[in-house]
């Protein structure tokens, strides 16, 4: 039981920690109050899948920042390994047209695996010495809102990570639910009616709802309204 990984759950407060990073000390989540955070782990420095992921994250960082979101990475390697690897990425690696990529977001040193274990990032079925590809979406109040886990062998889908971030913010801002594969500009789902009376009113309402049945109603939500609400100008 001592070595078992306990993963935080959606809706819980993100476990607190203080750590050394490539950008100085980080006190999480306190340092990020008022911002969303994508907190993610990777197995090891100087590995090809992780390199492709870090280049992608770094190239997309302005998009995340515009959505009031910071990036925070972690692996169980040491600080000097992190620095050497990130320097190599900038100086030598080209991938999918990306080159001269500088990683400016913090990368946590976690040699002791203390933080990794707090977040259930060490999976014995994968490895006892490397963190899997975990992604935690932490909201401005320090609450975990979404968790995505990938095995060591598979790189993450970054379009989905960004889409999920926008979806979470849209659901919060407009009090709606979002259907499969939703993207800004597409119809959103009106929360299910909580009583027979509300369901009947909804079916007979002149409000611009598209109700397939009492439990399945959608409505338009303008793309520009969504983006102007959740993205910095």
Which residues are annotated binding-site positions for substrate? 133
The Cα 136–Cα 75 span in angstroms is: 14
Q: What Cα–Cα distance (Å) separates residue 151 from each residue in 11, 94, 126, 144, 193? A: 23, 24, 7, 20, 39
Best CA proximity match to 118, nearest among 233, 41, 11 = 41
**∠ CA 22-48-98 to the nearest 5 degrees?**
75
Residue 50 annotated in active site: yes
Which residue in 74, 70, 103, 71 sits closest to 86, CA to CA? Answer: 103
> What is the sign, positive or negative, of the torsion defined by CA atoms of 206, 209, 210, 216?
negative
Query: Could you tell me the two tokens for 92?
Result: 């030598």
> Which residue, chain included where needed, has tokens 């050394």?
20
Q: Which residues are catalytic?
A: 50
């Amino acid at each position: 039981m001592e070595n078992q990984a306990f993963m935080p759950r959606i809706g819980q407060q993100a476990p607190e920690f203080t750590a050394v990073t490539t950008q100085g000390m980080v006190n999480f989540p306190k340092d990020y109050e008022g911002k969303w955070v994508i907190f993610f782990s990777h197995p090891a420095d100087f590995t090809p899948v992780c390199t492709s992921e870090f280049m992608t994250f770094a190239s997309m960082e302005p998009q995340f920042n515009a959505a009031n979101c910071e990036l925070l990475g972690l692996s169980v390697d040491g600080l000097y390994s992190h620095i050497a690897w990130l320097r190599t990425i900038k100086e030598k690696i080209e991938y999918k047209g990306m080159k001269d990529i500088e990683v400016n977001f913090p990368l946590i040193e976690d040699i002791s695996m203390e933080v990794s274990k707090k977040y259930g990032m060490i999976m014995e079925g994968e490895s006892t010495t490397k963190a899997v590809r975990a992604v935690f979406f932490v909201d401005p109040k320090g609450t975990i809102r979404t968790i995505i886990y990938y095995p060591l062998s598979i790189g993450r889908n970054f379009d989905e990570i960004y889409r999920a971030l926008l979806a979470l913010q849209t659901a919060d801002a407009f009090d709606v639910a979002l259907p499969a594969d939703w993207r800004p500009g597409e119809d959103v789902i009106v929360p299910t009616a909580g009583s027979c009376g509300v369901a009947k009113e909804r079916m007979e309402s002149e409000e611009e709802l598209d109700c397939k049945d009492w439990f399945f109603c959608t409505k338009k939500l303008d793309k520009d309204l969504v983006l102007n609400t959740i993205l910095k100008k």
